[in-house]
Each structure stands twice: as structure tokens, then as C-alpha cells.
Structure 1
Amino acid sequence: MKKYTIQNSPFVVPTTDGKLIKEHFGNATDKNNEISIAYMEAPPKWSEPFQVPEFDEYTYIIKGKKQFIIEEETIVLEAGQSIKIDKNTRVQYSNPFKETCQYIAICLPAFSIDLVHREEA
């Protein structure tokens, strides 16, 4: 029995906002609720509602820029930068810029719609 898993077929999460989500490990892909690792592309002018997730979220920016409103502070990260946002923190993610943002998101425990607590828009 091998003690590793290679992921060649990430689960493409269906979205309605133009965002590409390819989950390599996590609830949608392999029923792993301990961690989720996803490659994402946020198109220009994309945003999500505010949320207060029950998981820590790590983000690494590969290309472009991404805006975070954390509590009441606005932060913009660029390629090569990363951030950890603690669970139970009010946050909004967006890409108000002209270029697509490519990034990796890691959630501990794994992302679940039941744990994200998005606010009504």
C-alpha cells in the first residue's frame, strides 16, 4: 500500500460567478474534512459576500492581486505574497482589479459550505 496520493484529477467546483475552483484535496474531492487545498482563478471585478468561516484559511498569490477586507481593514496581496486568516474572523475576498488573480487556498479544517457562514448580499 502506497503512503502517498497523487492528484491528477482535481474536482472542479461548479460556480455561478466566473471563479474557477479546482479542489485537489478536500471534502468535494476525496471526502477529506481535515484539509482542503484548491487552485483558484478569480476573474476581474469578482467578489464574494462577507463571511465568518469556522476554519483557518491560507492564501498564496501566484499571479495578479487579491483584495481582503478583514474585520474593517483592507489588504491587497500581490504575486509571491501569502496570508493566514484565523477562523471566526469576518472577511470578504475580492478581485476589484483588471487582471485575473491566480492563487492557492488551503483551509484547516477543510472548506465546507456549512462552515463558511456567508452573509446575505
Structure 2
Amino acid sequence: MSKKYQIQKSPFIVPTTDGKLIEEHFGKATNGNSGISIAHMIAPPGWSEPFQTPEFEEYTYIIRGKKQFIIEDEKVILEKGQSIKIEKNTRIQYSNPFDEACEYLAICLPAFTMEAVHREKS
């Protein structure tokens, strides 16, 4: 009989050039799951990404530090213990303009892919 669960002990480390740690525990890169992705991330101080308009919903939970979101034209800052849901097809920019690293979990429905994130040229 096969197990009814899967423990992830070796998440996929997404290669980055901006100092951000991305460990995908479940998702397209880790186990081929296109329905959901769950990633643990650490964004260093001063980190930011270009604006994007993803084809997926994204949920973020802040473990420590703070993270800035520019959602459409509104600036939102989340702190430790707070979470947010961002609807798909929403223009957003993620950043950490603060003095300490921000550790958080990100869950995307359906799963994150580079083809579905639609990052703008910076």
C-alpha cells in the first residue's frame, strides 16, 4: 500500500542572482505539481523585484521581518505574523527596503511558473 502523505526533506533551491533564498517545497519544480506551489523564502535587506502581473493567486505569510507590496498603486507593508492574499491578474511589486531580512512563506494557486508570473522589464 502506498503512503497517503509525502514529507519534503529536500526542497528545490531556485537559482537567483539577487541574494534571495527560495526553497520550493511543493510545486512545479519540486514534484511537478501544477496546482499549487509552497515556498519558503528569505529576502535580504534592500531586495526588490520588478512589477509583475501573475496568472495565479498568491498568499504570503511573514515569519520574521517586514515585506513591502505595491499592489496596483497602493503601498502595503506586512510584518511578522501577518498574511495577505493577492488575486490573480493583479499588478504587484514585492520588495524589502528595510534593514533586516524578511523570512516568509508564499503559496501560489495554481503553482508558480516563470511563464505565468509576467514580470516587467526593469
Shorter chain as denominator, the TM-score bin is over 0.9
Structure 1 residues not aligned, in runs of 5+: none
TM-score scaled by length of structure 2: 0.99
**Equivalent residue, structure 1, for 2:87:** 86
| RMSD of Structure 2 on Structure 1 (CA) | 0.3
Gaps of 5+ in 2: none
- Written as runs of structure 1 = structure 2, the 5 A alignment for 1:59-70 is 59-70=60-71
1:36 aligns with 37
> Residue 74 of structure 1 corresponds to which residue in structure 2?
75
Match of 2:49 in 1: 48
How many residues get paired? 121
The one-character-per-residue Cα deviations of 1:25-68 (angstroms, maximum 9, x if unpaired) are 00110011000000000000000000000000000000000000
Which digits, 9 at most, give the CA deviation of each residue in 1:80-105, with x for residues without a partner?
A: 00000000000000000000000000
Secondary structure in 2 matching 1:107: strand
Structure 1 counterpart SS, 2:103: strand
Residue identity (%): 73
Distance apart, 1:119 and its partner CA: 0.5
